[in-house]
A and B are shown apart, each in its own frame.
With several copies, the nearest count.
Chain A
Amino acid sequence: MASLKELAKQGEKFLGGHRACAGCGATIIARQVLLAAQYPVVVGAATGCLEVISTIYPYSAWNVPYIHNAFENVAATMSGVEVAYNALKKKGKITKELRFIAFGGDGGTYDIGLQSLSGMIERRHRVLYVCYNNEAYMNTGIQRSSATPYGAHTTTSPAGTKIPGKLQPRKNLTEIIIAHEPAYAAQATIGYWNDLVTKVRKALDANGPSFINIFSPCRLGWAYPPEKTAAITRLAVETCVWPLYEYENGKYRITVKPKEKKPIVEFLKMQGRFSHLLKLKDDTPIKEFQAEVDRIWEKLLKRSAE
């Protein structure tokens, strides 16, 4: 269990001066993940908010080696960086122990980057892939992704007079990745920094591909007051909208169990993206959303009991 004092000892690896909205969750993730790393790391990022706000030429917020290639290929790009490292190490041109971390948003991971990630895991590259999951395409102005929850309003799944927000449930990427049998997989979020730090360290020590899906509030896309960024993630966990668990050599483990499971409405009502659902006379959308959450939570309890 890491202590903040310990983490604070090392210098910052993700600096201020970036262009993120005030209170952006993605940047907190970048900081917490890099602070957790106990090895020197080389970072790759997919196109997306995190990349855009951190590397506007001639300014870079990254205090570690960083590469950006395109939107859909950070996993493939880091696969290449990792094998180059292996090759150069074999030839003695590099001696240090390095680790590799790929950052992608949910769009760059659940959708356009899924194949690249699937290939990276199947080929067993030793890279930690971090999906900072703000549940929509924020950089382009809040479009739906397959991580966008049922009913949420986005600009491509708008709450209109005929259609009440997104019609499909979230793609369960963490389960999809677990079906790939990576060396390590987990869900985390910033509100539980300690849980997050522990998972990052496990992932970097795992001898193979690892994946962490990190719930990442976006004050713009979710429409909530910026100071609530950390608080909102705790509600997501307490309502089981975002269960914290990990998968390691074939076993599931829930790392943070809410004392009492709150109804999702508590989570929804904090955010503008769901406000139309709460206004609807007909509460089936919310019921369906709740049912979906319960179903997945039940399954998780079962799996972790196995």
Chain B
Amino acid sequence: MIVARTGNEAMAEAMRQINPDVVAAYPITPATEVVQLFASFVADGLVTTEFVPAESEHSALSACVGASAAGARVMTSTSSQGLALMHEILFIAAGMRLPIVICLVNRALSSPINIHCDHSDSLASRDSGWLQIFTENTQEAYDTTIMAVKMAEEIMLPAMVTTDGFIISHGMERIELIDDKKVPKWLGERKVVNNLLDIDKPITLGSLDLQDYYFEHKRQEIEAMNNCLPIIEKVQKDFGDTFGRYYPIVDEYKMDDAEVAILAMGSTGGTAKVAVERMREQGKKVGLIRCRIYRPFPKQAMLRAITKVKALGIMDRADTFSTMGGHLYNDCRSILYDADKKPLIKNYIYGLGGRDISIEEIETVFEQLLKIKNTGKVDKDIVYYGVRGE
């Protein structure tokens, strides 16, 4: 069914169709609507979900942990400060291997307090052991929310699906919805490995692990992360085969013959595609690489993509506050270390706190990259793009 939906509406629709057993959440701009719409589905009896309006995000995720450990299929939604307040429990959910799914709307972290998009919130929790999937548009947000449930449950790790705050969350686009019945059917029931509610076979969850066992338990968690890409690919393929929309691990656009490329995440991917088109019309061989699966970091697929070009512009919508520039920039330089083909790389930190990035600005980036390709020199390797007074 073709409809018009905002990113938040699309994620809420996905949640309605998934009909999770439990949703515990707390409002925060720009994610509030997801919870709001879902609450109205509950009030109208469109879902059988138990909805917990928690008194904070910390409690919201804590309740999700309890519910997921009790065997329920559990989802929540938050953003920015909310995710930051969940920080402690994010690591716990992953350590307990609970397949909770968060619909995360990316918003800049305080301070200064700001309600607009950048990626600092989810990136600040990239070590937490959660899958992180950044989506480009409303359709992808909707589809990925559904896929994430299956991925998380098969991998036994929690997952975050993100949209860009306001840009996607509040932006209405044309999307295709799956029939209500097909979604639960495709997902099937959650297979519970450790059932807390089985009183005949009582188990103890979350015990104290000293020097003698902690490393072993963490090693299991690391292994789950190290080995889950094939499962993610399988689920994406299965989803495509069933519903006709296929998603890649790394999204490559016009890369086959590209000489220079931009690497970005989230909604900027779309804007950059238009820029690519315009450059191509001028006969310039440029391409776009969009990092969709960020955790686990798809080393191989990413290497394949970024080594295709001579000059690479990495656009990070967050900074690491380390003197080293943005996250993707460092991830890519790291994986390229022992690659034999090495592109010239320039890092563009842009769009913090919702600063808009235009097609023209991206075209300028491409022009700079072409210059870099030709001259073989990167003048300044990390720049702050679009900030006043730079």
Contact = CB atoms under 8 A, between A and B. Distances in A.
Q: Do chains A and B directly touch (beta carbons under 8 Å) in the complex? A: yes
Interface in B187-227: 196-199, 202-210, 212-213
A144 B53 CA distance: 8
Nearest to A61: B204
Given A83-B67, A87-B21, 5 more contacts: A55-B204, A72-B56, A80-B24, A88-B71, A160-B40
Contact of B199 (A40, A52, A75, A88): A40
B92 to A, nearest CB: 6
B27 A42 contact: no
B44 interface: yes
B39 A158 contact: yes
A79 B66 contact: yes
Contacts of B230: none
Interface stretch (B57-65, B247-255, B312-320): B57-65
B48 interface: yes
B359 interface: no
A231 interface: no
Interface stretch (A91-99, A237-245, A252-260): A91-99
B201 to A, nearest CB: 9
Contacts of B229: none
Contacts of B56: 72, 111-112, 115, 119
Nearest to B210: A56
B64 A66 contact: no
Contacts of A76: 54, 58-60, 62-63, 66
Interface string B67-107: 11111101000000100010011001000000000000000
A84 B21 contact: yes
Nearest to B44: A160
A159 B212 CA distance: 38
19 contacts: A47-B81, A56-B210, A57-B207, A57-B209, A69-B62, A70-B89, A73-B59, A79-B59, A79-B66, A80-B66, A81-B69, A84-B22, A84-B50, A84-B67, A112-B56, A140-B27, A156-B35, A158-B40, A160-B45
Contact of B65 (A57, A77, A162): A77
Given A119-B59, A156-B53, A160-B40, A65 B197 contact: yes
B28 interface: yes
B208 A51 contact: yes
A162 B45 contact: yes
Interface in A44-64: 44, 47, 51-52, 55-58, 60, 62-64
Given A70-B110, A83-B50, A143-B32, A65 B199 contact: yes
A123 interface: yes
A75 B65 CA distance: 12
B52 interface: yes
B36 interface: yes
B66 A77 contact: yes
B85, B89, B110, B197 interface centre (most CB from chain A within 10 Å):
B197
Contacts of A122: 55
Contacts of A58: 207, 213
A79 B208 contact: no
A16 interface: no
Nearest to A160: B43
Nearest to B205: A67
Nearest to B70: A84
B45 A118 contact: no
B382 interface: no
A195 B213 CA distance: 41
Nearest to B199: A40
Contacts of B92: 69-70
Interface in B302-334: none
B21, B48, B85, B92 interface centre (most CB from chain A within 10 Å):
B21
B62 A116 contact: yes
A279 B188 CA distance: 41
Contacts of A79: 24, 52, 54, 59, 63, 66
A146 interface: yes
The 4 tightest CB contacts between A and B, nearest first, are: A160-B43, A80-B66, A119-B55, A80-B63
Contacts of B132: none
Contact of A73 (B58, B196, B203): B58
B49 interface: yes
A69 B65 contact: yes
Nearest to B110: A70
Nearest to A143: B27
A291 interface: no
B205 A66 contact: yes
Given A69-B65, A143-B27, A162-B45, A80 B204 contact: no
Contacts of B60: 76
A94 B192 CA distance: 13
B89 to A, nearest CB: 7
A135 to B, nearest CB: 14
B59 A64 contact: no
Contacts of A162: 42-45
